[in-house]
Amino acid sequence: MKKTLIKIFVLFMSLTLIFSSFNFSFAATKKTSDLKLASDWPYPFHGNPFGPGAVGGAWWFVYEPFAYYIPQTGQYIPRLAEKWTINGSKLTVYLRKNAKWSDGRAFTAQDVVNTVAFIQAMWQWPYEIQTVRAINPNTVEFTLWKDAPTSFMHTILTDGAMGSLVPYHVYSKWYGQARQVAELGKKIFYDTQSGKTVSDETKKQYEKLSSALRDQVNKFSPYKTLKRMPVVGAYEPTKIIQSEMVLSKNKYHWLANKNTTERVVFRRWSSNEFVWASLVSGELDAAHPNMPKDVVEQLKFINPNLNVKTVSDLSEIALIFNFNNKLFKDLNLRKAIAYVIDKNKVKDVSVWQANPAGQYYTGVLSSMQSKWVNSATLSKMTKYTTSAASAENILKKAGYTKKDNQWYTPSNEPVEFVLSVYGPHNDWVLAAREVVQQLNKFGFKVEMKLIPDGMRDQVMRSGEYECAIEFGSAWWGYPHPMTGYARLYQWDIANITAFPSKEKFNTPWGEYSPFDLVEELRVNINNSKKATEIIQKLAYITNEYLPVVPLFEKVLPIYYSSARLTGWPSAQDGRWSLAPGGIERLYNLLITEGVLKAK
């Protein structure tokens, strides 16, 4: 019966989509070499990166970073940069000499200098860049602020906004103002960080200059004023209506001769169901909607040309503890909880396509663990297989007792607590319910509490919780174990859990503070051998002392069709890991390199 309902649903949605498509030029895309996707965009379209909605899903097609980074392999793929060198706090980028804007103008170092001035002025970021200067038309030098982590050089290289957001020949009339606002903003930031007092007069001056610049820049629409949006990326927006956005190939792009895809055509992402029906009916070549398991299981029956690839979203969902609560200061209790929870079942009921947490909680994402944590280190660690017997053994040895299916602490207090979870995150709520059910069945007394919409940060940062569902280790920004460990022991999680990360913990290599190890890892980030040694110690501490209990690793499900296109990577290809944080980067890489193309 369920399969029949699925067939009817898909048939209905497909027919609706097919008939409605006659109202759009989308129906004509079959006659051209197009890549057909779904996304959102501002309408009316303005083409201003600082305007409302920026450029929507066109972002990675119109802006180019200096390089792409493949997390799975650790490989950089040069884009706007031919190469780069690092010398202490200086990053020198050598630009492609054949890079041009879509209006034929040469792309130069002045465009980079202009872009950095504008984003620092308009976004108050990134102040980690203290200076940027054009050494010559094809060479630009970045100097980091003295307290900026060297890992920020990765952000400079890979952020799509850093080099090509603001063409100088389009925005030059405001360059002087942007430079003035950026310099004053950096001075205020640096003084504040060093403990100096910033005068009210200086603050007022900044607000006045900043507001004047914003008013002018935000009103500017290249698409309206110039009748186009000059881009250095592979595609320029050429036709935008509410239901469709068309990007046309930039004939001046350095990879234009390799690229056989003439247009990228977006349909508006109105709902997951609409996008799914568009995939099924062949109106889209790829998309990443979240769909129920029973629907996806019928994929081959519904459309045999559709395939699915799941890639890590570079974050894990975890059970976190408030270490100001006496109960959770006991490592024995945390270990018992780790043994009790059936993580696979939690995954299946909340985000069925997620990667399992695995049996070791190293602080390294489970999909990346084999690359960073060696087998010798794992052999020294506790293996957390689901086992109520192991949990009972730990608790009884620690002096806990069980009466009438209720566990009591060594001081004869019931083991009871509240698990908080952010209500709007439905998958988190499902995970929390399953965790609560499992812990109650074991003999703990646990209640679930929903955090209201908009209150998550306040509740977490104020410590108004006992334990909670939250992001654990996450590699956002710089996909490296250092980022995840910094989150656990120095930044977000450390701040909201009060885990004693500056204390020293016993390891097979001696006593170490995870806070200090993260600092050491940051300093040695480019020394592969030394970094790996530090990661082993951090992995051991994370597994044995459990600042969090991971539940599953988030993934991004990518559905792609082989009906019209050839060249999709194999399931094992590391390029898929480029997708999280900007899936269009993956598509752009494949089509500009001539790998993905029409049959």
**Confidence band for 292, pLDDT divided at 50, 70 and 90:** confident
Model confidence at 419: pLDDT above 60: yes
Model confidence at 28: pLDDT above 50: no
Residue 586 is which amino acid?
L
**Residue 196: partners with Cβ closer than 8 Å, 6 or more residues away:** none
**Mean predicted confidence (pLDDT) in 285-300:** 88
Model confidence at 21: pLDDT above 90: no
Highest mean pLDDT among 297-301, 320-324, 348-352, 364-368: 320-324
| CB 266, CB 285: distance < 8 Å | no
What pLDDT is recorded for position 11? 47
From 216, 268, 210, select the one nearest 45 (Cα to Cα).
268
Distances from the Cα of 204 to the Cαs of 180, 190, 199, 209, 436, in angstroms? 14, 17, 9, 9, 51
Return the H-helix or E-strand segment holding 92: strand 90-95
Q: Which residues pair with 143 in a beta bridge?
A: 90, 131
Q: What is the mean pLDDT of the chain?
A: 93
Report the distance separating Cα 180 and Cα 131, nearest Å.
13
Domain with CATH 3.90.76.10 in the chain: 64-224
Tokens representing 494 are: 């450390």
What pLDDT is recorded for position 255? 98
Return the H-helix or E-strand segment holding 68: strand 67-70
**Residue 409: partners with Cβ closer than 8 Å, 6 or more residues away:** 327, 330, 399, 400, 415
Helices (H), 443-526: 456-462, 481-489, 492-497, 514-523
3-state secondary structure of 424: coil
pLDDT digits (tens, 9 = 90+) for 388-405: 999 999 999 999 999 999
From 140, 35, 34, 28, select the one nearest 83 (Cα to Cα).
140
Q: Which residue has the tokens 């494949």?
A: 590
Helices and strands (DSSP H and E) totals, the chain: 24, 23
What pLDDT is recorded for position 272? 83
Give the distance, in angstroms, between the CA of residue 484 and the centroid of all CA atoms in the same chain.
12
From 212, 441, 467, select the one nearest 320 (Cα to Cα).
467
- Assign domain 313-554 one CATH number from 1.10.510.10, 3.30.2290.10, 1.10.443.10, 3.10.105.10: 3.10.105.10
pLDDT digits (tens, 9 = 90+) for 44-91: 999 999 999 999 999 999 999 999 999 888 899 999 999 999 999 999
Report the distance separating Cα 508 and Cα 217, nearest Å.
58
Model confidence at 31: pLDDT above 60: no
Domain covering 64-224, topology: Dipeptide-binding Protein; domain 1 (3.90.76)
| CB 94, CB 101: distance < 8 Å | no
**Mean predicted confidence (pLDDT) in 233-262:** 98
Q: How many CB atoms lie within 10 A of CB 531?
A: 19
Report the distance separating Cα 39 and Cα 19, nearest Å.
21
Model confidence at 8: pLDDT above 50: no
Q: Which residue has the tokens 């506790």?
A: 382
Q: Which residues pair with 451 in a beta bridge?
A: 422
Look at domain 2-39+233-305+562-598 and name its CATH class: alpha beta
| Buried residues in 44-65 as b, exposed as e (16+ CB within 10 A) | ebbbbbbbeebbbbbbbbbbbb
**Residue 284: partners with Cβ closer than 8 Å, 6 or more residues away:** 36, 37, 38, 267, 275, 278, 561
Least confident range of 66-75, 168-177, 326-335, 510-519: 66-75
**Mean predicted confidence (pLDDT) in 495-510:** 98
| CB 322, CB 465: distance < 8 Å | yes
3-state secondary structure of 595: coil
pTM for this entry: 0.83
Report the distance separating Cα 414 and Cα 418, nearest Å.
13
**Confidence band for 291, pLDDT divided at 50, 70 and 90:** confident
| CB 470, CB 493: distance < 8 Å | yes
**Confidence band for 32, pLDDT divided at 50, 70 and 90:** low
Q: Please, is 162 exposed, middle or buried when counting C-beta atoms within 10 Å of its C-beta (0-12, 13-18, 19+)?
A: buried
Q: What is the DSSP letter of 396?
A: H
Domain with CATH 3.10.105.10 in the chain: 313-554
Give the distance, in angstroms, between the CA of residue 102 and the centroid of all CA atoms in the same chain.
29
Distances from the Cα of 87 to the Cαs of 74, 92, 300, in angstroms? 20, 8, 52
Residue 54 is which amino acid?
A
pLDDT digits (tens, 9 = 90+) for 134-150: 999 999 999 999 998 88
| CB 68, CB 77: distance < 8 Å | yes
